[in-house]
Amino acid sequence: MRHPDPLKETPSQTAGPYVHIGCTPNFAGITGVYAEDPGTRMTNDRTRGTRITVTGRVLDGTGTPLRDALVEIWQADADGLYPSPAERRGTADPNFTGWGRSPGDMQTGEFRFDTIKPGAVPFRDGRMMAPHIGFWIVARGINLGLHTRMYFPDEPAANAADPMLSSIEHQSRVPTLVARDEGDGVYRFDIRLQGEDETIFLDI
């Protein structure tokens, strides 16, 4: 039976200036809610895999860093398994969360994740995707969170065969999804919202 007064979709809104209070209260100077903000720590001393650091900034169309952006990442473990009840290929590393959250530094806009390099995972048709990390970005002025991916520059063969990367119409834009290797396990991934070298965002 159809409801006589169907509910309407709630209007979308930007994240607003208070997103850090709800998501990262310690960062916002509000203590006593969590011992540490959720998503701060992805690994422990028993996590398997190669330790890496991912850092970067969210930049607007003028190249200015957003100082109030909030970035989350999702990724597989070193064996390419997700810590999810939907994972049917094996058991993911119990010492790895697979999810992290980082607010941008209020002065520089810099975000940072201390994590591990992910293994390859299958595409929906079974073909293997190159190792990558999924990103989600929110900030004032963004009505809906933006999704993108970071691929690794030291995986050229896997990147070339990746089914998602190879499906991009304008291949000249693929480099916007590839991090820069800064050495010693540090990868820089700047996310450009508009303008020249705008990052490719995914409709997922």
**CATH code, domain with 70:** 2.60.130.10
Whether residue 139 is contained in a domain is answered as yes
CA dihedral 37, 68, 21, 27 (to 10 degrees): 40
Q: What is the structure's pLDDT at 1?
A: 46
Whether residue 118 is contained in a domain is answered as yes
Q: What is the token pair recorded at 149?
A: 């991916």
Whether residue 5 is contained in a domain is answered as no
Whether residue 33 is contained in a domain is answered as no
Residue in this structure with the two tokens 């002065």, named with its chain if needed: 107
Task: Print the domain residue range for 124.
Answer: 39-192
Gyration radius from the chain CA atoms: 18
- What's the pTM? 0.90
Q: What is the structure's pLDDT at 176?
A: 97
Whether residue 100 is contained in a domain is answered as yes
CA gap 62, 54 in Å, rounded = 23
Whether residue 95 is contained in a domain is answered as yes
pLDDT in tens, 60-106: 999 999 988 999 999 999 999 999 989 999 999 999 999 999 998 88
**Whole-Å CA distances, 8 to 2, 12, 15, 170:** 14, 12, 21, 37
Would you say 200 and 150 are in contact if contact means Cβ atoms under 8 Å apart?
Answer: no
Whether residue 203 is contained in a domain is answered as no
Question: For the chain, what percentages of helix, strand and coil (3-state, to nearest 5) are there?
Answer: 10, 30, 60
Number of domains present in the structure of the chain: 1
Give 89's Cβ-side CA count (13 Å radius). Answer: 13
Enumerate residue ranges in the chain where pLDDT < 50.
1
Whether residue 25 is contained in a domain is answered as no
Q: What is the structure's pLDDT at 12?
A: 63
**Whole-Å CA distances, 96 to 50, 70, 102, 112:** 12, 21, 17, 17
